[in-house]
Structure 1
Amino acid sequence: MDTSESSSLSNPPQPHPFLLRLARLLLAKAERSTAEGPVRLPLDRKAAPELHDAVDADQILLLRMQLDDLCATGWVALLLEAPRAFASFSDRRPRLELCDFGALAAWARYTPQAQRWRQQWRAHLAAHWTANPMEAPADPAAVLDHLARSPLIPMEGLPVEEATRSLAILTTLCQSGQAMALREASARAFQGRSKVLDHREELLRLLGATSSQFAEAPIQLLLAPPHWSPTGGTNDGGRAFQDVLFIENLVTFEHMADTRASAWANSLLVYAAGFRGSGRRLRSRAGCRLYLRTSAPPIARHQIEAWLFQSGEGGRDDPPVVPMSFFGDLDHSGMQILATLREVFPQLGAWRTGYGQLVRLLEAGAGHFPEWAAKAKQTDPGHTGCPYADNVLLPILRSEGRFVDQEAFDLQVADGSS
């Protein structure tokens, strides 16, 4: 298969009608496509009748030269089957492959479908609010500016009238002052879709909502306290736990809760998935619900709540400072979770018992390359604030170029390790 050569562009090709039509067909196909891989437009009789109807070889040559000029930009590539005896240009199944959507769209003056819809909706909103001022927000211009900067992508493709009705319902909810769950408000306003308003605080404010009107769903926190002895709590003078260990993955959490080795015999185990981006809500009673894996006496639950919900800033009524650690995958994502948790629990560090074992596996040549486990897009957090992670774990990830999942941790050899 041949491909026309691409080169840097000094002068764009002339916008011949033949090229413009093909460019716009290719761009429209790219917007419709849901398949992975390159987008290609067959230059068949439907897309390029000129190539098939031409009876003069000079006409074919001229069209081919125009295609070569377009391909020289690097925006598209021309694909052809290998030449055969007596095969014409159209017999070689010519196809245009898209290489640079933005540049080709700019040259062809093609407005992407999503952008066209956004412009149409903002124009419809402005006209609707002018005609129906009672349905307008307090500052319509600010709302339109926000939607231009931060489009409401889940709405795209709806009739603009339906999208406007949805925003009117949401505006009424915001201005009513009625408190409800954020996702309930989203489902009411947006055709039963509950996640449209996730991370849309600015839009809600512009539509008249108060800061606490729409509550996010509370975090469900799964905990496994250590075994409680009625004669003395754990081994630490009546305290329900001696330290807290956040665990990234459920399999490891369950296994460690069932197998209490000495290194975590008196630890409060916390399943750390599900709140990676919502850590600050952990410290609020309204934002967090505690679920204990096994039953525990009221005094143990009281101590857990005191650790989690009280300020811990050294006040007279604060609970004692509790050591905290995190254990997850030895990869960039795990290190990012550690950094995120440290924003809420500044004293938290990487758990040396678990990570030390994973480091030894890496040093022995074990582990996997990122692309083997769909981790190629993970990014190095650079810095976590934990000395052990920053001075040991991140450097070995960089030097080895391999990762180890938390589930490789061997509980049978962990007892007593440090």
Structure 2
Amino acid sequence: MLNKADRSQGQRAITLKLDAKALPELHATQTPDGLASIAALLQSLVQTGWVTLRTQKPRPFQTLADQDPTLVLEDADALALWSGHQPDGPKWSRELVKQLGMPGLLKVPDAPALLDYLQRNPLPWFAGLPAGEVAQVLNALAAACATTTGRPTLFLRELSARHFKGHSKVLDKREECMRLLGAEADQFPEVPIQLLVCLPEADIAAPNFAEVLFIENLVTFERMAMHRQAGWAHNALVFASGFKGAARRLRQPQGASLYWRGQAHAMATEAFTQWLYGQAHTGLPVSFYGDLDFAGLQILAQLRQTFVHCEAWRPGYGALATAMQAGHGHAPESAGKEAQTDPGHTGCPHADQVLLPLLRESGRCIDQECWPADLNLTTVEPTHEHRHRQAQL
């Protein structure tokens, strides 16, 4: 699994199907005690949070081996540290690291540590470049770190664009590399996340919101902001594009920029700002409403890492789930969603016990723009199974 992660360079989600090749012990074991022992070992690995275990819905007389068990990698760094994994890296990277080790070529604070990092985490940008040119880039980055210490400086993507021929994303998620080049913490910050916030209208100044609702898509945010209804009359509505709203830097003053939709009293905006940065109103309920698909619930899972009590917003997800149970929704491949990864477990009871099972059983998705815009969909007669699930919802 970690070898796959090394090859992906962070470009895709990593999964490992536990078939007879990957985990022969699971498929060769016949005794109940033997299967239980392996299942317990897998569960102990899952409990670390480094991986999740995805299975099909169990059927009578099936064992774990029959349920298509698949591991989903959640924290490659922690798993690599625990297991002692040392990636070899591609051949070109090993040769480049060897050449960069020549005396006097690198002028960086700690050349051996930087070379060790490049051995473990190759930069694809350097593939095919001569060692001398690569050294010039690394030395220039080290010089930039040294000359801008202690004063306002560039965003990380601006630094990348200046040193990698206009490519702004080379240094994304390369915190360790920047530290080894001499950068101080937050010396080259990521650009702040832009949060668009709509506070409810009220005669009182602050605080005038009883719940914070994160919304995945801009169309739904605008619909709910324009047409306040009883279900969200007192909610602070927050939009941040896709997964950005789940980033941990959201709760740091330098990590998020707040923009207000419509008129908002200064005391109300101050109350929201203090809540966001953990300075006041810490007990406010937090919810998330997004598409009813695996990616939407993955955002919920990540958002819970920042707001630990965040839950799936029942009014919105309830409407989407009811529509899906009535036979509505679309196939993932019809919307380019076939590569979405089942989060396995979000920590939100409603998502884990109702929404995720519904997605797995139906094999369909439904976008949140369907509601609150009346869910005006073509009528499909629900099956008995759909009626049963609807009763559960």
TM range, normalised to the smaller chain?
0.5 to 0.7
Instruction: State whether structure 2 residue 145 is matched by structure 1 residue 174.
Output: yes
Any residues of structure 2 matched to 1:348-367 within 5 Å, and which?
A: 348-367=310-329
CA distance 1:252–1:194, change in 2 (3 Å) = same
Q: 2:189 maps to what in 1? A: 215
Q: 1:392 maps to what in 2? A: 354
Q: 1:303 maps to what in 2? A: 271
Determine which of 88, 93, 97 is the counterpart of 1:118: 93
Aligned mates of 1:372, 1:175 — CA distance in 2: 51
CA-CA distance at 1:162 after TM superposition: 2.4
Determine which of 342, 345, 357 is the counterpart of 1:383: 345
SS at 2:287's partner residue?
Answer: strand
Instruction: State whether structure 2 residue 226 is matched by structure 1 residue 251.
Output: no
Q: 2:252 maps to what in 1? A: 284
Aligned mates of 1:364, 1:275 — CA distance in 2: 29
CA-CA distance at 1:252 after TM superposition: 0.8
Aligned mates of 2:246, 2:174 — CA distance in 1: 15
SS at 2:172's partner residue?
Answer: coil
CA distance 1:116–1:323, change in 2 (3 Å) = closer
Contact 1:362–1:404 (CA under 8 A) maintained in structure 2: yes
Among the aligned pairs, what percent are the same residue?
47
Q: 1:205 maps to what in 2? A: 179
Q: CA RMSD in A?
A: 2.3
1:348-404 Cα shifts (integer Å, max 9, x gaps): 110110000111111111111211211111111111111111111111111111111
Does 182-191 or 377-386 show the bigger shift?
Answer: 182-191
SS at 1:291's partner residue?
Answer: strand
CA distance 1:272–1:220, change in 2 (3 Å) = closer
Contact 1:190–1:196 (CA under 8 A) maintained in structure 2: yes
Contact 1:219–1:287 (CA under 8 A) maintained in structure 2: yes
Contact 2:293–2:366 (CA under 8 A) maintained in structure 1: yes
Aligned mates of 1:412, 1:242 — CA distance in 2: 25
Q: 2:166 maps to what in 1? A: 192
Aligned mates of 1:228, 1:294 — CA distance in 2: 13
SS at 2:212's partner residue?
Answer: strand
CA-CA distance at 1:187 after TM superposition: 2.1
CA-CA distance at 1:272 after TM superposition: 3.3
Equivalences, count = 286
1:349 maps to a residue whose letter is E
Contact 2:193–2:250 (CA under 8 A) maintained in structure 1: yes
Determine which of 267, 273, 287 is the counterpart of 1:325: 287
Task: State the TM-score, normalizing by the size of structure 2.
Answer: 0.68
1:150 maps to a residue whose letter is N
Q: 2:45 maps to what in 1? A: none
CA distance 1:274–1:388, change in 2 (3 Å) = closer
Aligned mates of 2:163, 2:283 — CA distance in 1: 45
SS at 1:289's partner residue?
Answer: strand
2:350 maps to a residue whose letter is Y
1:304 maps to a residue whose letter is F
Contact 1:120–1:160 (CA under 8 A) maintained in structure 2: no
1:165 maps to a residue whose letter is Q
Contact 2:193–2:240 (CA under 8 A) maintained in structure 1: no
Q: 1:82 maps to what in 2? A: none
Contact 1:335–1:381 (CA under 8 A) maintained in structure 2: yes
Aligned mates of 2:192, 2:282 — CA distance in 1: 26
Q: 1:162 maps to what in 2? A: 133
CA-CA distance at 1:346 after TM superposition: 1.1
Any residues of structure 2 matched to 1:15-414 within 5 Å, and which?
A: 115=90, 117-127=92-102, 130-132=103-105, 135-178=106-149, 179-229=153-203, 232-233=204-205, 239-276=207-244, 279-311=247-279, 318-319=280-281, 321-412=283-374
CA-CA distance at 1:239 after TM superposition: 2.9
1:191-210 Cα shifts (integer Å, max 9, x gaps): 23221111011111122222
Aligned mates of 2:282, 2:134 — CA distance in 1: 53
CA-CA distance at 1:319 after TM superposition: 2.3
CA-CA distance at 1:256 after TM superposition: 1.0
Unaligned runs of 5+ in 1: 1-113, 312-317
Aligned mates of 1:365, 1:278 — CA distance in 2: 31
Aligned mates of 1:158, 1:250 — CA distance in 2: 42
2:271 maps to a residue whose letter is Q
Does 201-210 or 340-349 show the bigger shift?
Answer: 201-210
